[in-house]
Structure 1
Amino acid sequence: MFEYLNGIVAFKRPEYSGIDVNGIGYKVYTSLKTYDKISVGEKVKIYIYNYIKEDAFKLVGFLEEGERELFEMLIGVSGVGLSLALAILSTFSMNDLREIVLNEDYKTLKKVPKLGEKKSQQVIIDLKSKIKKLNLLSIEGFEEKSNINLIEDELYLALEALGYSKKEIDKLISPEEIREFTNIEDAIKGVLKKIQKRS
């Protein structure tokens, strides 16, 4: 049984990727979202779900433990197997899927190919009580606590350290302006330039 793999992405395909761990290649099935996030030659840590059936043993990989946990919930739903569970995770982000389930929005969920209305309703029924218990950060990782939010948090801390109050910071820069920055260094420089112009 595998808990996770630490290795290099040898190749990647929409359905599965090859992970090289010390010269041994592992075929790992992933969602399309994971496929998009990994690059050939990149070192990755992939959390593994050991999918074992009478006629098959497959490694299913995830970049986040929370995504693996959600996958386990999905394949626990009657009629939802490996392919359909990965199709769901390929279609919706972790946070979107959580909102769909909690809002009982089966019409949106049934957009997943081959899922259909009845299975969509069953997924919502089976997951609603379970998904509430999941920590949003553990589910979503970098998506739930987005880069924008991290920059905003760090910007406030940095400016407060310089003696500015939260009210003063809010007057200096809006959330919309913060979204224009891709890193904390540029955000701080941008605010300091505004301060200089006002003084």
Structure 2
Amino acid sequence: MIAYIDGKLAYKDPTYVIIDVHGVGYQIKIPLSTYSALPAGERCKLQTYLHIKEDAHTLYGFTTAAEKEIFLLLISISGVGPNTGLMILSSLSVDEIQQAIVREDVRTIQQVKGIGAKTAQRVILELKDKIRKEVLTTDALSAPARVHNTIRAEALSALVTLGFAKNVAEKTLDSIIKREGSNLSVEELIKFALKSS
């Protein structure tokens, strides 16, 4: 899996970019939001997802981890392929997608070209619990605590890799942050979690 591509932006189009990495040009499909954020001819870094089919290996790129995350959630739904995922991200911001799902606003999602009522309902039905949990957590945090949310996410990922069940790891990390405060590093969080298990 190619997690990201870091190089010089050699070519930019509203639907794709070519990034030159040490003389190799990677063609990467992008949403409009990424197109707007990229400065032509300069060095850039895109979060990427490699989609593999029998007849093609296609890279999809995003300027933020949040865009990539919502894209991966969207394409996990039956009937929503990568191109449809890009279309949704090109039409709505990450925040608008999250709000539409949380509020069960079928009309907003249906406004995206190529999305019918059934697909819009499926998107809401399959993602509302995942998104609601994320949005509520983010809304409840102050701005400094949102930065620490990244540290928590990194620690959670590490603990899951080490064999913790995700829900157990989440509860453990939350209780540590409550007890020790939110100024812990990733390493400190992991150490506390390993000691408490």
Q: Same fold (TM over 0.5)?
A: yes
Q: Find the counterpart in structure 2 of residue 59 from structure 1.
A: 59
CA RMSD of aligned residues (A): 1.8
Give the TM-score, by structure 2 length: 0.67
Q: Can you list the C-alpha shifts for 1:151-193, whole angstroms capped at 9, x where unaligned?
A: xxxxxxxxxxxxxxxxxxxxxxxxxxxxxxxxxxxxxxxxxxx
Task: Tell whether the 8 Å contact from 1:95 to 1:136 is kept in structure 2 after alignment.
Answer: no
Q: Whose helix proportion is higher, 1 or 2? A: 2
Aligned residues: 139
Q: Find the counterpart in structure 2 of residue 160 from structure 1.
A: none
The letter for the 2-side match of 1:34 is T
Give the TM-score, by structure 1 length: 0.66
Q: Find the counterpart in structure 1 of residue 70 from structure 2.
A: 70
The letter for the 2-side match of 1:81 is G
Q: Can you list the C-alpha shifts for 1:101-146, whole angstroms capped at 9, x where unaligned?
A: 00000011100001111100101111111113436899xxxxxx7x
Q: Can you list the C-alpha shifts for 1:70-101, whole angstroms capped at 9, x where unaligned?
A: 11110011111111100000111111111000
Q: Find the counterpart in structure 1 of residue 32 from structure 2.
A: 32
From the superposition, tell whether residues 137 and 66 of structure 1 become closer, same or farther in structure 2 (CA, over 3 Å): farther
Q: Find the counterpart in structure 2 of residue 123 from structure 1.
A: 123
Task: Tell whether the 8 Å contact from 1:88 to 1:112 is kept in structure 2 after alignment.
Answer: yes
Where in structure 2 are the equivalents of 1:1-199 lying within 5 Å?
A: 1-134=1-134
Task: Tell whether the 8 Å contact from 1:9 to 1:42 is kept in structure 2 after alignment.
Answer: yes
| Amino-acid identity (%) | 41
From the superposition, tell whether residues 45 and 136 of structure 1 become closer, same or farther in structure 2 (CA, over 3 Å): farther
Rounded to whole Å, the distance in 2 between the matches of 1:115 and 1:32 is 17
Task: Tell whether the 8 Å contact from 1:31 to 1:86 is kept in structure 2 after alignment.
Answer: yes
Deviating more after overlay: 97-106 vs 6-15: 6-15
Rounded to whole Å, the distance in 2 between the matches of 1:112 and 1:81 is 14
Task: Tell whether the 8 Å contact from 2:98 to 2:135 is kept in structure 1 after alignment.
Answer: no
Structure with larger Rg: 1
From the superposition, tell whether residues 103 and 135 of structure 1 become closer, same or farther in structure 2 (CA, over 3 Å): closer
Which of structures 1 and 2 has the larger relative contact order (alpha carbons within 8 angstroms, sep 6+)?
1
Give unpaired runs (5+ residues) of structure 1: 139-144, 146-199
